[in-house]
Amino acid sequence: SAAPVASAAPQPTAAATPAPPSVPDTGGCPAGMVRIKGGSFKLAAIKAQVTVKDYCLDVNLATTDQYAACVQSKKCNDGAVKVCDPSTYGAEGKGNLPMICIDFTQATDYCKAQNKRLPSGEEWEWAARGGPEAWTYPWGNEPPAEQLCWSGKTKRNEPCPIGSFPAGANPQGVLDLAGNIFQWTTTGNDVVSSARFGRGGSWRDSGDEVKAGKTAVFKTTYRCGYLGVRCAMSAP
């Protein structure tokens, strides 16, 4: 009888090449920032038509640890940053909470130390309304509930760690635009006053303060436990 035919040995399969790690699309902006494409819109408060150019915006609020590093570099100062209730600076376990209790000059200096700047009120509102989407909140028109750090559902006594509420991100992924802390901007309410707008509402708010179009006016020397900083820069 014929000899049995040997079966072919299975050939080893080539190992699959692992896909390179995904890199967030920053639109040419530095790491930790995203590009916000500009456009024209009417400011909610005064109904004035404004135009913003493309710009870069920090995804996250500046943390206490980041501000402390800036102080250590001698580019920032920690004058009076512990006088607020609450305060996060130098407090154990609160390094990932937003930096609060800083005035306008300290916020400006922090952004400058990062080779950035404070956003204008127009830039801030454009990001918080979803740009051309014209939403009431960064995530859309759905009323606020669990999308943000605020006291509308659970009464809070201090800010939340940054980025704790991803459901509240705007279309580009910017976090904490609503709630957590108000954020300094360079825009004031008139040409005479040195006061500047703070935007976004805060952890202690429970109503309309967290809407994208709402503004709060703070003297440039003001500091409190619900006002901090997010930086921006012109787009490359």
Strand order in the sheet with 55-58: 33-36, 55-58, 232-234
11 belongs to a structural domain: no
Distance of alpha carbon 77 from alpha carbon 162, whole angstroms: 22
Q: From CA 36, how far away is CA 52, in angstroms rounded?
A: 10
**Which pTM does this prediction carry?**
0.89
Q: What per-residue confidence (pLDDT) applies to 23?
A: 52
CATH number at residue 192: 3.90.1580.10
| Structural domain includes residue 22 | no
Please give the Cα distance from 162 to 151 (Å, whole number).
16
Q: Given this model, what pLDDT does residue 193 score?
A: 80
> Is 161 part of any domain?
yes
184 in any annotated domain? yes
Residue 21 pLDDT:
46
Q: Residue 107 sits in which domain range?
A: 33-234
- Rounded to whole angstroms, the Cα distance separating 101 from 96 reads 15
**Predicted local confidence at residue 26, as pLDDT:** 87
State the pLDDT at residue 189: 79
Q: Does 98 reside within a domain? A: yes
Please tell me the predicted confidence (pLDDT) of residue 183.
98
Contact by Cβ (8 Å): 170, 147: no
Per-residue confidence (pLDDT) for residue 17, from 0 to 100: 54
Q: Based on the structure, what is the number of domains in the chain?
A: 1
Strand partners, 41: 50
pLDDT, one tens digit per residue, over 107-125 is 999 999 999 999 999 999 9
Question: pLDDT (tens digit, 0 to 9) for every residue of the chain, 236 residues total?
Answer: 455 444 455 554 445 555 444 455 688 999 999 999 999 999 999 999 999 999 999 999 999 999 999 999 999 999 999 999 999 999 999 999 999 999 999 999 999 999 999 999 999 999 999 999 999 999 999 999 999 999 999 999 999 999 999 999 999 999 999 999 999 999 997 777 889 999 999 999 999 999 999 999 999 999 999 999 999 999 99
Residue 181 in domain: yes
pLDDT of residue 194: 85
Q: Which among 196, 203, 195 is positioned nearest to 156, based on CA atoms?
A: 203
- Sequence letter at residue 94: K
Q: Quick check: is 3 in a domain?
A: no
- The size of the chain, in residues, is 236
pLDDT computed for residue 14 by the predictor: 47
Asked if residue 25 is part of any domain, the answer here is no
